[in-house]
Structure 1
Amino acid sequence: MGQSMSSIAPECNESKKAYDNCFSQWYEKFLKGESLENECKDLFDTYKTCVQSAMLKNHNVHKNLEDAREQAPFENGGKHRETD
């Protein structure tokens, strides 16, 4: 397997790496029809909690997300919405 990307929150890199490794192994089993159950749910939940916590600590992330939601470029053909 190739290298995985770093987390958006550096403090979550280890939990992301653990989840990515688990998912890669599970996906191979899934493709072979050997597993349908999400075997990595607990690791994903740990990673998600870490990212959410990091976002709460970093108020700039929230502002950037809100700005992006207001712009909604994906809903407007990739273009920023016109502001009044």
Structure 2
Amino acid sequence: MADSLSPECTPLKQEYDSCFNVWFEGYLSPAISPSATDAQRTAHYQRKAKEFEDKCGKVYKEYQACLQSAVKQKGIEPLLQQAREEHPLREPLPPATPSSKDS
């Protein structure tokens, strides 16, 4: 795992990364039947979101607070804001379809 933006945030980053990796491994494990209803799938993913919050939420918030402080201390905040304004996050683009040139 890589170091954080700021050395004082690295222990929190490592703790969060470890927590997330363990949680994500369980998230990827098939836990519901392929024939599950939409309601069952929704309930499953809501349980997984709560599980993440219960297991990793506190350290995630601590790490984010540390990062925000480091961003301010390093004077990066205006650059991040400029990047957000120039390239705002939008809905994902639909998958590309092969063009006639590719055929």
Q: TM-score range by the shorter chain?
A: 0.5 to 0.7
Structure 2 counterpart of 1:41: 57
In 1, Cα distance between equivalents of 2:18 and 2:57: 13
Cα deviation digits, residues 16-73 of structure 1 (max 9, x gap): 000000111111122223x7211211110110011011122222x0132233235438
Structure 2 CA distance for partners of 1:31 and 1:55, relative to 1, 3 Å: same
Q: Which of residues 50, 54, 60 is equivalent to 2:66?
A: 50
Higher RCO (C-alpha 8 Å, min separation 6):
2
For 2:28, the aligned partner's letter is: L
- Percent identity of equivalent pairs: 34
In 2, Cα distance between equivalents of 1:41 and 1:62: 24
Structure 2 counterpart of 1:65: 80
Q: Name the SS for the 1:8 alignment partner.
A: coil
Structure 2 CA distance for partners of 1:72 and 1:46, relative to 1, 3 Å: same
Larger Rg: 2
Number of residue equivalences: 70
In 1, Cα distance between equivalents of 2:25 and 2:88: 35
Q: What value does the CA root-mean-square deviation take over the aligned residues?
A: 2.3
Structure 2 counterpart of 1:15: 12
TM-score, normalization by structure 2: 0.55
